[in-house]
Chain A
Amino acid sequence: DGGITQSPKYLFRKEGQNVTLSCEQNLNHDAMYWYRQDPGQGLRLIYYSQIVNDFQKGDIAEGYSVSREKKESFPLTVTSAQKNPTAFYLCASETGMNTEAFFGQGTRLTVV
């Protein structure tokens, strides 16, 4: 079945540690996105990528990094520089041609 998969579903991190969230899609989509969602809040854009080996910062990129070495994969690293990383992280992909974006089920990151 085609889809977009985020892992893990729940992630705990100690302060000062980097952690990487996985996002994989087998939909052959060119564009991929990372959003952060805080309780009762909307989706804020962290990074996006329109094509392999290229990505752009969104509104809240500070403290995060990404890579897009393969079309199927767009991992997000939450670095120790992110002051308040506890949140729900959503990955999405789309064809890049103004069509439906498909979301993963999200990763809930908690800093302990």
Chain B
Amino acid sequence: GENVEQHPSTLSVQEGDSAVIKCTYSDSASNYFPWYKQELGKGPQLIIDIRSNVGEKKDQRIAVTLNKTAKHFSLHITETQPEDSAVYFCAARNNDMRFGAGTRLTVKP
């Protein structure tokens, strides 16, 4: 089955700086790659997603890039704010949906 690896496990940035989280996946048939944000004690919520026929997607301060050849995708958050502090998960979907281990992002004011 699919195996998704995510790095780093923790990330601390200063408010206004950029944050980058990287994921790799193993199943070349995976074709949908969402990113989720989870706040304490709640279920994850989708923040952005990308499909395999697209290399990059942007939504305001958030962007995702996908390299299908290398089987990796990344989340980029620019101009970080304290409310961006949360745990972020990447996922890859083929027949089922597998998640990375998560990145705890802390944005220091």
Contacts and interface: CB of A to CB of B under 8 A. Distances in A.
Given A100-B49, A101-B34, A45 B44 contact: no
Q: Is the interface of B mostly helix, strand, loop or mixed?
A: strand
Interface string A36-62: 000011111100101000001011000
B43 interface: yes
A60 B97 CA distance: 14
Contacts of A35: 99
> How many residues of B sit at the interface, in one of the four size bands?
20 to 34
A106 B41 contact: yes
A51 B97 CA distance: 15
Contacts of A56: 96
B43 A106 contact: yes
B34 A100 contact: yes
B61 to A, nearest CB: 19
A64 interface: no
Interface string A78-112: 00000000000010101000101101111000000
B109 interface: no
Contact of B99 (A42, A48, A50, A105): A42
Contacts, number: 53
A60 to B, nearest CB: 12
A45 B45 contact: no
Contacts of A90: 43-44
21 contacts: A33-B96, A33-B97, A40-B104, A41-B102, A42-B100, A44-B99, A45-B96, A45-B98, A48-B96, A48-B97, A59-B1, A90-B44, A98-B31, A98-B32, A98-B93, A100-B49, A101-B91, A101-B97, A103-B45, A105-B42, A106-B42
Interface of B: 1, 6, 31-32, 34, 36, 41-46, 49, 51, 89, 91, 93, 95-102, 104
Interface of A: 33, 35, 40-45, 48, 50, 56, 58-59, 90, 92, 94, 98, 100-101, 103-106
